[in-house]
Amino acid sequence: MGVIEGPALQSYDLSIAKNFKVREGWNLRFQTDFFNAFNIANFTGLNTNASDKAFGTLSSAYPPRNLQMQMKLTF
């Protein structure tokens, strides 16, 4: 009694990488990172004030999907 539970947080992060041999002793790595890869809406900001008429409403959300790409040349 007296416990108010908000929505759960679901975030799936993925990373894909590929290495290429450019020439002898030189390697190129290409990597892509996906944060919240499936773009699941994660709400936050639950109003827990029982005397407020907006009780139980959600006022904000965590960021949507985010991509990060990178290349690395080693020699």
Q: Domain range for residue 36?
A: 14-74
Domain count, the chain: 1
Find out whether 38 and 7 touch, Cβ atoms under 8 Å.
Answer: no
pTM of the model: 0.73
pLDDT at 50: 82
Q: Give Rg (Cα) of the chain.
A: 21
Q: What is the pLDDT along the chain (75 residues), one digit of tens a residue?
A: 678 788 888 999 999 999 999 999 999 999 999 999 999 999 988 888 888 898 888 989 988 999 999 999 999
In a domain, 42, yes or no: yes
In a domain, 24, yes or no: yes
In a domain, 6, yes or no: no
Exposure pattern of 19-48 as b/e (b: 16+ CB <10 Å)?
A: eeeeeeeeeeeeeeebebeeeeeeeeeeee
Structure tokens at 33: 């990172």
In a domain, 46, yes or no: yes
